[in-house]
Amino acid sequence: MATFASSGVAVTLQPKILLKLKGYIALTKPRIIELLLITTVPTMFLAKDGIPSLELILITVLGGTLAAGGANAFNMVIDRDIDAKMERTKGRPLVTKVLRPVEATFFAVILEVAAFVVFWAFVNLLSGILAVSAMAFYVGVYTVWLKRRSTQNIVIGGAAGAVPVLIGWSAVTDKISLVSVLLAFIIFLWTPPHFWALAVKYKEDYRAANVPMLPTVKTNQRTANEILIYSILVVALSVALIPLSSLKWAYAGSAVLSGLGLIGYSLLFKIRPSSKNAMKLFGFSITYLTIIFLSIAVDVLIFHR
């Protein structure tokens, strides 16, 4: 070791197998999966009108994680050319060549098959079909078709992110109800403000990769206008859910207060459309969704047992 150090060669003795393992984990985008859990589990509480069995929760979360992880891995295979051009994503395993595209694709296929089998065998067929359809939509409609062509790419692609809520509901009840569709629409409407706020910061990255994210091709002012519209819509829907569902004041209070917060941050960004205000909005958008869904779980625990 001493000889290496003295010759000035930096050596990290990380075994290749460990590097590969880390690469496979990175392929699933673990951070996005966190968001999946935050929305799915409270929805299961609401569907059950109480606490579902721990076993069902764990299996549903496992299936959802496998399906979303597979979708993200497919995404990284297809987008490896543009990921290489972007600062934010150039550390991804297919860009750094820790993994080969063939390895990543096999991994993705295995994850999807495993997800479907887990749902079908231990939950129900509907949940399995929903999970695989969401993956197909995300990969086919978002990654392949819209991402490189339309400024509305993430608006429509956001539908894939809304499906985990439907899966949570169907896992408990074996069907899809109006309330679950409304919850899915909350995520659908929440995605544009959330993602565009982030894309404001990385607009030059997307320009370098030739990806027409809205903030890259329109001014911040225009982006702010669009964000404000979606923020108002998502807050209106979350409030409309109060009379339409069995939820009571724990949810109602949280939805109204955090909704005011979301609109407030969107307005702040509209009044002064700086990158800094966009990141504040991005940060709060995550808090907002967490509050909405945690308060659903809390509401169920307080009033429905």
Partner 1 sequence: MNSRKVILLVSTIILVFTTVYAVVNFRPSSAPISSITLGGEGPQIGKSAPNFELPLLESSKLGKNISLSSFKGTPLILNFFASWCSECAQELPLLSSFAKSNSSTIKVIGIDSGDSPTNASRLLAKDGAHFTVLSDEDESLISSSYSSRGLPYSVLISKNGTVLSTNLGSLNQNVLAQWKKEASVN
Closest to partner 1 by CB, 182 vs 279, is: 279
- Which lies closer to partner 1 via its Cβ, residue 29 or residue 207? 207
Cα torsion angle, 124, 130, 133, 134, sign? negative
Binding residues among 261-280 for partner 1 as defined by CB under 8 A: 271-275
Measure the CA–CA gap between 25 and 98, rounded to whole angstroms: 12
CA distance 57 to 44: 8
Asked if 28 interacts with partner 1 (CB under 8 A), we say: no
Residue from the set 49, 81, 87, 174 that interacts with partner 1 by CB under 8 A: 81
User: Among residues 37, 47, 66, 77, which is the contact residue for partner 1, using CB under 8 A?
Assistant: 77
What whole-number distance in Å separates Cα of residue 255 and Cα of residue 260? 8
Of the ranges 129-137, 146-154, 156-164, 183-191, which one interacts with partner 1 (CB under 8 A)?
A: 146-154
The answer to whether 108 contacts partner 1 (rule: CB under 8 A) is yes
Cβ atoms of residues 56 and 48 within 8 Å: no
Measured from the Cβ of residue 271, the count of other Cβ atoms closer than 10 Å reads: 10
CA distance to 1, 9, 13, 191, per residue, from 5 (Å): 6, 6, 13, 48
Cβ distance to partner 1 smaller for residue 104 or 235:
104
Q: How many residues bind partner 1 (CB under 8 A)?
A: 34
Give the nearest distance from C-beta 205 to partner 1 in angstroms.
13
Q: Contact 109/77 with Cβ under 8 angstroms? A: no
With beta carbons less than 8 A apart as the criterion, state whether 130 and 175 touch.
no
Least spacing, CB of residue 72 vs partner 1, in Å: 13
Minimum separation from the CB atom of position 141 to partner 1 (A): 12
Integer Cα distance of 213 and 211 in angstroms: 6
Which residue stretch of 53-61, 99-107, 169-177, 184-192 sits at the interface with partner 1 (rule: CB under 8 A)?
Answer: 99-107
Nearest distance from C-beta of residue 91 to partner 1, angstroms: 21
Interface stretch with partner 1, choices 126-134, 139-147, 177-185, 253-261 (CB under 8 A): 139-147
C-alpha distance from residue 10 to each of 6, 31, 91, 231 (Å):
10, 30, 19, 49
Residues at the interface with partner 1 (CB under 8 A): 74, 77-78, 81, 101-102, 105-106, 108-109, 143-145, 147-151, 207, 210-212, 216-222, 271-275
